[in-house]
Structure 1
Amino acid sequence: MRALGRPSTSSSDFDLNPEFELPEGRKLRAAGVLVGFVERHDGIKLILTKRASHLKHHPGQIAFPGGKVDEGDADVTAAALREAHEEVGLHPDMAQVLGHLPSHETVTSFQVTPVLARVSPEFSPIPEPGEVDEVFEVPLHHIANPANFQIQARRWRGRKRHYFTVPFGPYYIWGATARILRGLADRMAE
């Protein structure tokens, strides 16, 4: 992907909210997410998950497979591949890592590194029911088009907070996932 070679800066859940003051000395936890693309008969698709509705944090939200870096992980790439294996049954041998997008800071104090990978067309997802309600695919052309993104707002901690969304069918893709995808769309549009 030529988009990987284009320069860009890191992003944040606070990009659209410059009035929010980030705490000094905040500690961010490293995390890796797999931005996995798979070629299907009808085009290239992006693999996403719908988080389990019973989870304590972010229940039912749309997310990339991934999570925090554990002690046994060599780096964010290893974390993303391990989590994708745990959450959606993607064996690391079925993912060819292409590179990384700039990191993204979340309101939940994670420094998320998106790991781009080409996924084997033989991959058939197996959602881990403790973490994932559903695995689905979104056409690359949908998320590559900046016109499909919207800016919406909600009240958060007593203030209005703006964020990106990129709805697809019944799926409301928003927050950090949509912000990372918007960064990818901007890079691909250049």
Structure 2
Amino acid sequence: MSAPDPIAEIAAALGRPHAATSDFDLNPETVLPEGRKLRPAGVLVPLMMTPHGARLLLTQRSSVLKQHPGQIAFPGGKQDECDADVTAAALREAHEEIGLAPSNVEVLGHLPEHETVTGYMVTPVIGRVRAPFTPVPEAGEVAEVFDVPLAHVLDPARFRVEARYWRGTMRRYYTVPFGPYYIWGATARMLRALADVAGRS
């Protein structure tokens, strides 16, 4: 009997209804303004099977960027006028940021939308990388491309809640560290949603 394919299991789970998430989930006392306009964005959650099992690709942003320097992130960004939708935006940005061609990605589905403190409504696009490729980090924007075991980020026990002051108030957030990589904030929250989706029967 062949071993189960965790990526296929995630794809099957994506079709079920799931609640949206946000950077404010752990901060329910936050009062968000009525009628706020959020900019659409898409990020790619690239999953791939390797000789070492199922892995997830992530990036470390350049330390010289004005927004979120040095943070761990999915490849992706805001939806531009040239993009048909947020899925197209995620695929375009992944091509630009890490050299992953859209033709080398099988889109499996989407996680629930995620609202960020920076005013974006982000749609995480789950994609299976069809064939091995060599990442090419975009100069000036991506410092490193690395992968982590999918099992690591699907294990709820790996996640912690930490806190720090942000704009004068204490803000709580998820973290899911891996080796030297401190994965936190919106990226960790979306990965926690992925773990929740994969864990439901």
RMSD: 0.7
CA deviation digits over 1:13-46, x for unaligned, max 9?
A: 0000000101122110000000010111010100
Aligned mates of 2:119, 2:29 — CA distance in 1: 18
Sequence identity of aligned pairs in percent? Answer: 66
Aligned to 2:142: 132
Question: Gapped runs of 5+ residues in structure 1?
Answer: none
Q: State the 1:162 CA deviation.
A: 0.4
Q: How many residues align?
A: 190
Alignment of 1:6-155 (within 5 A): 6-155=16-165
Give the TM-score normalised by structure 2: 0.93
Aligned to 2:15: 5
Please state whether the residue corresponding to 2:126 is helix, strand or coil. Answer: strand
CA deviation digits over 1:54-96, x for unaligned, max 9?
A: 0000000000000000000000000000000000000111101
The residue type paired with residue 181 of structure 1 is L
Question: Gapped runs of 5+ residues in structure 2?
Answer: 1-10
Please state whether the residue corresponding to 2:100 is helix, strand or coil. Answer: coil
Please state whether the residue corresponding to 1:126 is helix, strand or coil. Answer: coil
Aligned mates of 1:47, 1:121 — CA distance in 2: 14
Give the TM-score normalised by structure 1: 0.98
Q: State the 1:164 CA deviation.
A: 0.4
Say yes or no: does 1:161 pair with 2:161. Answer: no
Aligned mates of 2:130, 2:75 — CA distance in 1: 16
Aligned to 2:3: none
Comparing 83-92 with 18-27, greater Cα deviation is found at 18-27
The residue type paired with residue 83 of structure 2 is D
Aligned mates of 1:3, 1:136 — CA distance in 2: 25
Q: 1:174 aligns with which of 184, 196, 201?
A: 184
Comparing 61-70 with 5-14, greater Cα deviation is found at 5-14
